[in-house]
Amino acid sequence: MSKIIESGKGFVLPDDKVQQSVSRRKFLGYGAAASALVIGIAACNKDDDNMPSNGINLGSGDAGILNYAYALEQLEAAFYTQVIASPYSGGSVAEMALIKDIRDHEIAHREFFKNALGSGAIQALEPDFSSVNFSSRESVLNTAKAFEDLGVSAYNGAGKLIVKADYLVLAGKIVSVEARHAAYIRDIISNGTFADNTVVDTNGLDKSRTPAEVLTIANTFLKTKVTGSNLPTS
């Protein structure tokens, strides 16, 4: 039975764990034209695109969160690009067509963030897929499942860190597509596991992960390491 935990602003959610206190963020720029996206981000990330010895720093603020998403989309796009370039055996024609769709979606996400970030974008990341056997359907699909579930939890966890409403909506537009991918990949591994209890809790809620949790996992698939040390945490 879930406990009821009081949160910072007197709003209460039923949950199994202590809720973090609510943020005191201000909502600057809500309602601003979406076209401000490109310029705004480029302007506020000039100092964050250096590469310290501990890896690529994603930067701070909303630009940092968008670079965080850009890093994850780079990883996913590179993975599916290789899957389609050297397809595993044992997948049906229909399955490979949908995997190709997923590749195109991830490339679209990657290129979108690249353009949106403009000169504030982090560099292209070099993936490390040495742990993946691209000739094995099982290896590829299990990696795909991990990436998609990771992506869903990453966007879910990043939502509250975003200040500008337009960016939150963009993240929302992408996360549900990642969830559709996740459900499909899970179902072709084992039908009916689209939303099983390894990802959905007893309240019917999906997982959220912090950037630190996500990057620890993502870095195991990256030669170019990424750090989110300056990202917002609440």
Partner 1 sequence: MNLKHIFNEIEKVDPEVYERLDTRRSAMKQFSGIAGKLALAAVPIALGSMFKKAYGQSNSTLFNILNYALTLEYLEAKFYSNALAAATAGNLAIPTGAPRTAIQTIGAHETAHVAFLKTAITSSGGTAVPEPTFDFSAGNGSNNGPFAAVFTNYALFLAVAQVFEDTGVRAYKGQAAEPALMANNDVLTAALNIHSVEARHASHIRQMRKTNGGLVPAGVDVKPWITLKQSGVDSAAVQASYDGEETTTQATIQIVNINGQTISANAASEAFDEPLTMPQVLAIVDPFIV
Report the site for partner 1 in 175-214 (rule: CB under 8 A).
Answer: 175-184, 187, 191-192, 194-196, 199-200, 202-208
CB nearer to partner 1: give 151 or 228.
151
Supply the minimum distance, in Å, between the C-beta of residue 54 and partner 1. 28
Q: Could you please report the per-residue DSSP string of 132-198?
A: --TT-HHHHHHHHHHHHHHHHHHHHHHGGG--SHHHHHHHHHHHHHHHHHHHHHHHHHSTT-TT-TT
Only one of the segments 53-61, 119-127, 138-146, 159-167 lies at the binding site for partner 1 (rule: CB under 8 A); that segment is: 159-167
Angstrom distances, CA of residue 66 to CA of 9, 107, 116: 27, 15, 9
CB nearer to partner 1: give 57 or 78.
78
Supply the minimum distance, in Å, between the C-beta of residue 52 and partner 1. 28
CB nearer to partner 1: give 46 or 173.
173
Helix (H, G, I), strand (E, B) or coil at 57: strand
Q: Is 225 in the site for partner 1 (CB under 8 A)?
A: no
Q: Structure tokens of 163?
A: 């200040």
Q: Which of residues 92-151 bind partner 1 (CB under 8 A)?
A: 98, 101, 104-105, 107-109, 111-112, 114-116
Give the residue from 113, 116, 137, 136 showing the smallest Cα distance to 125. 113
CB nearer to partner 1: give 6 or 47.
6
Cα(232)–Cα(65) distance, rounded to whole angstroms?
A: 8
DSSP 6: E
**Among 29, 55, 91, 157, which residue interacts with partner 1 (rule: CB under 8 A)?**
157
Supply the minimum distance, in Å, between the C-beta of residue 63 and partner 1. 14
Size of the site for partner 1 (CB under 8 A): 73
Q: Is the separation of the CB atoms in 54 and 226 below 8 Å? A: no
**Among 134, 160, 210, 224, which residue interacts with partner 1 (rule: CB under 8 A)?**
160
**Among 90, 172, 216, 233, which residue interacts with partner 1 (rule: CB under 8 A)?**
172
Supply the minimum distance, in Å, between the C-beta of residue 88 and partner 1. 19
CB nearer to partner 1: give 25 or 223.
25
Cα(101)–Cα(106) distance, rounded to whole angstroms?
A: 9
Beta bridge partners of 56: 226
Supply the minimum distance, in Å, between the C-beta of residue 90 and partner 1. 19
Cα(168)–Cα(62) distance, rounded to whole angstroms?
A: 10
